[in-house]
Chain A
Amino acid sequence: LHPPYSSPGHSAAMSIANLRLADSITCHAWNNNCSEVAICPNNNQVQIFKRNGTQFDPEPLHILDEHDQVVSGIDWAPKTNRLLTSAHDRNAYVWRFEQNVWKPTLVILRINRAATHCKWSPNENKFAVASGAKVVSVCYFEVDNDWWVSKHIKKHKSTVLKVDWHPNNILLATASSDFKARVFSGFIKGVDERPGETPFGSRLPFGELLAEYPSNGWVHSVKWAPSGMQLAFCSHDSTVSFVDVSGGAPGQLQSVKFNGLPVVDILWLNEDALVGIGFDNNPLLFSRNGGTWSFTKRLDEAKKEAAAAGANRAAFNMFKAKVEVGAESNVTNLNTLHQNLPNCLKSMNPGASVREFSSSGLDGIVSVWKN
């Protein structure tokens, strides 16, 4: 653990709890009080681990074994406590916790390619599943038939990588590998009330394309700001873009170029700050000053080398490395917490201002970061 310090206006984030829960983690999700985390350990299972403050229990509490292939998306609904999982086996399950056991209900998505990501809507009466079938399945529960029905949003030219619901439960943003971020209507008659005025108008038939934003690389992730008045997306060309729709669609687009490797997931901390993680294995902070977004700093402070080694030990190590490895240093660890791509960012206290968030990655580490 590194001591936190703050520079005026922007503090570093400290990892207050982290543990390597698996060899590699595809995605994760927290329950509503962040006492349990569900992960996919890069296989067909979902495993739920208990967390107590700064400690994780190293053994899973529950193992959910229903999918046939890698579980690509997990979302845990805070109000109804239902788990949503989507996998490469083209299926999604909605899980309910009853009598101390997680019980799955299959959802027929009607897609013929892998599901890539899934998200409950804010009111938890719908969910969206992104897929490699170039389609987003928006699902709602039909009480008469006692099952989940899916409707398709098409219009994508390639895999849809991520989806994100607007706070109004109707608008849906999508990130796609066809180099575009888009906003659609996910309005379902009978489930949603008429939306009233939104930045994208008030006539929002299901599946209508409301806005499209271009990029030079795959759009890896897209997220609405807590107010729903801004949209951010990150692309594979080492940019994070911000759209301000408070004045109406399509809005003002600002693209922030930064020095590092591309970012694959983002999270809004508040209306003026956003965190991204990606191939630099380091949470990056972007902030808005006077209406302009820019890259601010890396949040994971570089660990200092094991400074305790005295001069003799350092010389010994150097010659040892030269003999054994042919180079002067045999340190193979990265000097960030994450040793491999962190690809999933989740908020741990959703609201207008996020103070704690978590990351999980291909190195199998889940980390809680305190801002």
Chain B
Amino acid sequence: MGDVEAAEEQFDHAGALRTRQEAVNRALNGGNTKQALQAALENPPLGCKDEKIKLDSLTLVTNTVSRVKDNEIQAHVDQLSSFEVDTLMKFIYKGLGEAQECGRYLKWHEVVTNKAGLGVIVRAIAERRGL
């Protein structure tokens, strides 16, 4: 209802992005891609009016995803909660849409679909607050 939308408008997306960037970079510097992935998927900027924040958020995910070997993708996806899996699929579609690391994202798309079925794709497409 109205309250939820109002709360979302006031949410500090820029601040959340900075927090994410620090967490992801720290994890990646330590070689911990699993932690980096979870950090990158936190507080997704759904419905944020600032496109740059959304693109920067995507960059975080792309950076993480590009450092994961193909045979490790399954392990990375298995550790995610169902909310994180939904968020990941939304980023996958955004990455494909921005033509970033498409080969990678297609492999991730396959792994996520195997785990969460067609429902996760439906929810990524049906998300009304754009990513």
The residues of A with any CB-CB pair to B shorter than 8 Å are 179, 212, 214, 216-217, 236-239, 257-262
Q: Tell me how far the C-beta of A23 lies from the nearest C-beta in chain B, rounded to whole angstroms.
A: 27
B82 adjacent to chain A (CB < 8 Å): yes
Q: Which residue of B lies closest to A218 (CB)?
A: B126
* A236-B1 contact given A179-B128, A257-B86, CB 8 Å threshold: no
Name the contact of A212 in the complex, choosing from B1, B118, B123, B128 (C-beta under 8 A): B1
A-B contact list, 24 entries, CB within 8 Å: A212-B1, A214-B4, A216-B123, A216-B126, A216-B128, A236-B122, A237-B123, A237-B126, A237-B127, A238-B119, A238-B122, A238-B123, A239-B123, A257-B82, A257-B86, A258-B117, A258-B119, A259-B117, A259-B118, A259-B120, A260-B117, A260-B118, A261-B119, A262-B122
Residues in A neighbouring B128, C-beta threshold 8 A = 179, 216
In the complex the two chains form, what is the Cα distance from A236 to B126 in whole Å?
8
Query: Measured between alpha carbons, how far is A237 from B126 in the docked complex, in Å?
Result: 6
Q: Does B14 contact A (CB under 8 A)?
A: no
B123–A257 contact, CB under 8 A? yes
- For A260, the chain B residues whose CB sits under 8 A away are 117-119
Residues of B participating in the A interface, judged by any CB pair closer than 8 Å: 1, 4, 82, 86, 116-120, 122-123, 126-128
CA distance A222 to B118 in the complex (A): 23
| Chain B residue at minimal CB-CB distance from A259 | B117
Given contacts A236-B126, A257-B123, list 14 more A-B pairs with CB under 8 A: A212-B1, A214-B1, A216-B128, A217-B122, A237-B127, A238-B118, A238-B119, A238-B123, A238-B126, A239-B123, A257-B119, A259-B117, A259-B118, A260-B119
Residue on A nearest B83 in the bound complex, by CB: A257
A-chain residues with CB within 8 Å of residue B4 when the two chains form the complex = 214
CB neighbours of B1 from chain A (8 A): 212, 214
What's the dominant secondary structure at chain A's contact region? loop
User: Looking across the interface, which residue of chain A has its beta carbon closest to that of B117?
Assistant: A259
Rounded to whole Å, the gap between the CB of A95 and the closest CB of chain B is: 39
Given contacts A179-B128, A214-B4, contact A259 B123 (CB under 8 A): no
Most buried by B among A179, A214, A217, A238: A238
Q: Which residue of A lies closest to B129 (CB)?
A: A216
Task: Report whether B116 and A259 are in contact in the complex, using a CB–CB cutoff of 8 Å.
Answer: yes
Cβ contacts under 8 Å, A216 to chain B: 123, 126-128
Q: Nearest-CB distance from A215 to chain B (Å)?
A: 9
Give the complex CA separation of A257 and B124 in angstroms: 12
Minimum C-beta distance from B7 to chain A (A): 13
Taking the closest CB of chain A, its distance from the CB of B9, in whole angstroms, is 15
- The complex places the Cα of A220 from the Cα of B6 at a distance, in Å, of 27
With both chains docked as a complex, state the minimum distance between the C-beta of B88 and any C-beta of chain A, in angstroms: 14
The smallest C-beta distance from B117 to any residue of chain A, in angstroms, reads 3
- Closest residue of chain B to A217 (Cβ to Cβ) is B126
Residues of A within 8 Å of B127, CB to CB, are 216, 237
B55 vs chain A, min Cβ distance (A): 23
- Write out the residue numbers on chain A whose beta carbons fall within 8 Å of the beta carbon of B86: 257
CB–CB B118/A261 < 8 A: yes
Chain A's nearest CB lies how many Å from the CB of B56? 24
Give the complex CA separation of A238 and B89 in angstroms. Answer: 14
**A contact residues around B117 at 8 Å (CB):** 258-260
Q: Roughly how many angstroms separate A217 CA and B4 CA in the complex, as a whole number?
A: 17
CA distance A261 to B123 in the complex (A): 10
Interfacial chain A residues near B126, Cβ < 8 Å: 216-217, 236-238
CA distance A217 to B118 in the complex (A): 15
9 nearest A-B pairs in the assembled complex, by CB-CB distance: A259-B117, A238-B119, A237-B126, A238-B122, A217-B126, A259-B119, A216-B126, A237-B123, A261-B118
Of listed B86, B122, B123, B126, residue having the most chain A CB within 10 A:
B122
CA distance A183 to B126 in the complex (A): 24
User: A236 to chain B: which residues have CB within 8 Å?
Assistant: 122, 126
| CB closest residue in chain B, given A261 | B118
Most B C-beta atoms less than 10 A away, residue of A214, A236, A239, A257: A257
Give the CA-CA distance A259 to B121 in the complex, in Å: 9
